[in-house]
């Protein structure tokens, strides 16, 4: 959530010795625009240069510091080597090999020159050697003290060497020591029980760790100084989200307290009974909607747990009270599926249900706009088109967002603003079939109340998952024929729509043609994201009615598609997909009473990560276990879908590595909000920056 700065800087604004306009441009590429930024640009690893080793003590493969005298230099005529230096100490001889030589290096490397070098020790044609070592020239009759601290290695960029970054950081640490940078914000009463150092002590430590500290401890990020920084950063992020929640809850919302006949009539007409978990979650939402401030609740449940009916009950509570309700889905296919379901459920109750997406024709869209503005459409289903500028609601009281993991905090805030009516904000219900591990929920969904549907409807049969090499494709096709001849239906999922030279994947279009040739007695259908809404609707309707035996699809069917008669799922190139996506796709089967199967087809060679994913899928159907393993394997940026957007960006924290701190952070956040509110704004500004601006309402 750290927001990138876009300003430029120069020597005067940066205020640090050694930073001119050119260096400032290089620093800007690392998002460093101030002394504070530089000191929070932390090392990724460390090297131990605190001991000088004799040449005879060197071990091949280790990094080491050696000191010796240049005895001879040569410039080989053959090969890449431009300069070869013979270095001696009292114990032996080694060589320094350079493939590129700068003028100052030519001046330094002369017989009799004394050098201190650091690099990896290798075994070359002439014996022990170092390639392009870092070196210092030692003047005659002088000594250079060894480093008193471990050497930091920073994330770098072109034009900024490690030497330059260390030099600038040293200058910045001097400024920090002499000035009032990094005021201590956390009260001592909170720091002392955790034995944490001050912020300045922690920053000094991570940039210049004492020589006696084990490098392995630093790499594990388990020193008290590192944990001190992690603690404050995660604390700031949590408080920022709680701040958003508090700000939102101070706004006014319509209290949906009237209970008419629609909700009861709807439940009476359902062909199934709600599970205990569904009833519990529905009751939690009902209480929220009856309050005078906006609900902001996340409902998470595994694939097939029945979240759609929960959304319907919430929307009916709004309609019962004379208001409108909107449901937004991330894809047009899912939105269309919801539209069909809600139309079937609600129109017999006399409720007008409308649909809106980017592909709706202009004339139809205009009619929908008018119906929304005139309150003729009580329930509206669609994609993000629901909240475009031209859309005006007569009295929107509830917004439901399906597949919450596709939308971030920013989108939630935008929905609130767009849905604001007169003096009140709409209630907001967000749903996901991708269970959120507790670690992420505590850190990135603190602005939401959370309900969990932890029970599947009765009659669901477990899905048996098998992992099969693509070489056995013929066996898989035989399984499809057998399943379809028994009256069942099958999905075949391909990652791409068309052939790609870059990826060794079978395209959906080509696969459907090949399968139709192999299965001439079956009807093979095709669906992908580039088809028109009408084309996709026709294909899905034909599949739902059993007219299509085998549906070849891209991952467009990942969420929402519900065909109970489909009992076999084939996922091609499964090694290319993440765990949560595989689990979502697998969830398209197993929706009836017949035993269902999922086949994960993979292509050699498999990476270790892909092997781990496929093993997890074979071993469990539990979405919560899968979500936790997905978090551990891919990291939070991938799981939340923010890796490429920059929305998830910690300076020092790692949600997986530092998860044991989260319970204490949760407690500390509550204390600060209650007793130390004056530090909230500077704490958020220090770690989150302007990322909290979107929360102002």
564: left (phi over 0), alpha (psi -120 to 50) or beta: alpha
Same domain, 402 and 431: yes
pLDDT higher than threshold 70 for residue 558: no
- Note whether 298 and 385 are same-domain residues: yes
- Does residue 204 lie in a domain region? yes
| Contact (Cβ atoms closer than 8 angstroms) between residue 617 and residue 627 | no
Q: Are residues 216 and 292 in the same domain?
A: no
In a domain, residue 636? The reply is no
Classify residue 142: in a domain, yes or no: yes
Give mean pLDDT, residues 639-660: 64
Is the pLDDT at 506 greater than 60? The verdict is no
What is the rounded average pLDDT of the residues 174-181? 84
Q: Specify the higher pLDDT residue, 52 or 102.
A: 52
**Average pLDDT of every residue of the chain:** 85
Domain-terminating residue out of 620, 652, 670: 620
Report pLDDT digits (tens) over 211-232: 999 888 898 888 999 999 999 9
672 within domain boundaries? no
211 and 114, same structural domain?
no
Report the CATH number that the domain containing residue 516 is assigned in CATH: 3.40.50.300
**Closest by alpha carbon to 403, among 434, 381, 382?**
434
Same domain, 109 and 215: no
Burial 459-480 (b: 16+ CB within 10 A, else e): ebeebebebbebeebeebbebb
Question: Would 675 be classed as within a structural domain?
Answer: no
The pLDDT confidence band at residue 635, using thresholds 50, 70 and 90, is: low
The predicted structure's pLDDT at residue 310: 96
pLDDT exceeding 70 applies to what percent of the chain?
88
- Statement to judge: residues 442 and 514 lie in one domain: no
Q: Are residues 82 and 212 in the same domain?
A: no
Residue 239 lies in a domain: no
pLDDT tens for each residue of 6-63: 343 333 347 788 898 899 999 999 989 989 889 999 999 999 999 999 999 999 999 9
Other Cβ atoms less than 10 A from the Cβ of 458: the count is 9
**Same domain as 429, residue 476:** no
Residue range 313-367, pLDDT digits in tens: 999 999 999 999 999 988 887 888 899 899 999 999 999 999 998 888 888 999 9
Same domain, 374 and 486: no
What is the structure's pLDDT at 63?
Answer: 93
Number of domains in the chain: 4
Q: Is the dihedral of CA 150, 154, 158, 159 positive or negative?
A: negative
* Token pair 């898989």: residue: 476
Does the pLDDT at position 448 exceed 50? yes
244 occurs within a structural domain: no
- What residues contact 613, with CB distance under 8 A and at least 6 apart? 575, 577, 578, 579, 582, 633
**Beta bridge partners of residue 136, listed in sequence order:** 116
- For the cut 90, the answer to whether the pLDDT of residue 309 exceeds it is yes
| pLDDT in the model for residue 498 | 57
Task: Record the tokens describing residue 164, joined without a space.
Answer: 């330059």
- Lowest average pLDDT, out of 54-63, 84-93, 117-126, 646-655, goes to 646-655
pLDDT at 8: 39
Of the candidates 133, 225, 166, the residue with the CA atom closest to the CA atom of residue 46: 166
Domain final residue, candidates 426, 453, 480: 453
Nearest to 343 by CA among 353, 334, 332, 333: 353
102, 120, 146 - which closes a domain: 146
Note the pLDDT tens digit of each residue in 581-594: 898 889 888 877 78
pLDDT at 447 over 70: yes
- Judgement on whether residues 346 and 409 belong to the same structural domain of the protein: yes
Q: What is the mean pLDDT of residues 377-390?
A: 89
One domain, residues 273 and 419: yes
Do both 422 and 557 map to the same domain? Answer: no
Instruction: Answer yes or no: is 420 within a domain.
Output: yes
Q: Decide if pLDDT at 207 tops 90.
A: yes
Note down the domain range covering 601.
463-620
């Amino acid at each position: 959530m750290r927001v990138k700065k876009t300003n430029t800087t120069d020597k005067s604004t940066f205020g640090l010795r050694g930073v001119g306009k050119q260096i400032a441009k290089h620093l800007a590429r690392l998002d460093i625009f101030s002394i504070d930024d530089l000191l929070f640009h932390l090392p990724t690893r460390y090297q131990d240069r605190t001991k000088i080793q004799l040449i005879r003590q060197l071990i091949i493969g280790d990094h080491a510091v050696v000191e010796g005298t240049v005895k001879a230099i040569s410039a080989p005529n053959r090969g890449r080597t431009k300069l070869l230096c013979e270095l001696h100490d009292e114990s032996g001889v080694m060589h320094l090999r350079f493939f590129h030589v700068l003028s100052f290096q030519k001046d330094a490397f002369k017989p009799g020159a004394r050098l201190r070098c650091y690099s990896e020790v290798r075994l070359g044609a002439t014996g022990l050697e170092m390639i392009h070592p870092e070196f210092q020239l030692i003047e005659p009759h002088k000594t250079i003290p060894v480093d008193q601290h471990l050497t930091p290695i920073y994330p770098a960029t072109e034009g900024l060497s490690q030497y330059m970054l260390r030099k600038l950081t040293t200058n910045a640490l001097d400024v920090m020591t002499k000035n009032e940078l990094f005021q201590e914000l956390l009260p001592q009463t909170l720091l002392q029980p955790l034995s944490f150092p001050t912020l300045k002590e922690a920053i000094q430590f991570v940039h210049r760790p004492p020589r006696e500290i084990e490098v392995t401890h630093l790499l594990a990020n388990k020193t008290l100084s590192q944990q001190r920084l992690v603690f404050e950063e995660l604390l700031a992020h949590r408080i920022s989200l709680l701040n958003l929640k508090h700000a939102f809850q101070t706004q006014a919302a319509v209290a949906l307290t009237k209970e008419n006949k629609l909700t009861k009539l709807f439940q009476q007409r359902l062909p199934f009974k709600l599970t205990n978990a569904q009833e519990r979650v529905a009751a939690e939402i009902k209480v929220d909607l009856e309050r005078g401030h906006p609900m902001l609740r996340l409902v998470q449940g595994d694939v097939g747990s029945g979240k759609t009916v929960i959304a319907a009950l919430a929307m009916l509570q709004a309609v019962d009270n004379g208001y409108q309700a909107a449901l937004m889905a991330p894809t047009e296919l899912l939105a269309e599926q919801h539209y069909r379901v809600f139309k079937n459920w609600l129109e017999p109750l006399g409720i007008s249900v409308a649909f809106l997406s980017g592909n709706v024709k202009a004339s139809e869209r205009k009619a929908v706009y008018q119906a929304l503005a005139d309150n003729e459409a009580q329930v509206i289903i669609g994609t993000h088109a629901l909240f475009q500028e031209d859309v005006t609601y007569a009295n929107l009281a509830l917004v439901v967002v399906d597949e919450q993991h596709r939308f971030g905090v920013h989108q939630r805030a935008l929905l609130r603003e767009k849905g604001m009516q007169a003096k009140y904000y709409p209630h907001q219900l967000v749903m996901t079939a991708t269970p959120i591990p507790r670690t992420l929920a505590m850190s990135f969904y603190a602005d939401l109340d959370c309900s969990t549907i932890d029970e599947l409807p009765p009659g669901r049969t477990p899905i048996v998952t098998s992992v099969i090499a693509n070489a056995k494709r013929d066996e898989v096709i035989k399984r499809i024929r057998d399943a379809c001849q028994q009256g069942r239906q099958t999905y075949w999922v391909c990652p791409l729509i068309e052939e790609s030279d870059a990826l060794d994947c079978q395209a959906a279009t080509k696969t459907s043609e090949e399968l139709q040739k192999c299965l001439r007695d079956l009807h093979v259908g095709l669906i992908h994201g580039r088809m028109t809404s009408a084309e996709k609707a026709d294909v899905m309707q034909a599949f739902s009615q059993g007219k299509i035996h085998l549906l070849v699809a891209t991952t467009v069917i990942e969420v929402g598609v519900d065909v109970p008669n489909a009992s076999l799922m084939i996922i091609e190139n499964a090694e290319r997909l993440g765990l949560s996506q595989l689990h979502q796709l697998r969830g398209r089967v197993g929706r009836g009473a017949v035993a269902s199967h999922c086949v994960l087809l993979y292509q050699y060679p498999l990476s270790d990560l892909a092997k781990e994913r496929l093993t997890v899928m074979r071993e469990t159907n539990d979405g919560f276990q899968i979500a936790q393993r997905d978090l551990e394997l891919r990291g939070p940026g991938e799981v939340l879908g923010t890796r490429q957007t920059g929305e998830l960006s910690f300076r020092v924290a790692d949600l997986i590595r530092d998860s044991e701190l989260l319970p204490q952070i949760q407690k500390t956040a509550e204390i600060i909000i209650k007793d130390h509110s004056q530090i909230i704004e500077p704490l958020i500004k220090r770690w989150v920056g302007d990322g909290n601006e979107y929360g102002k309402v």
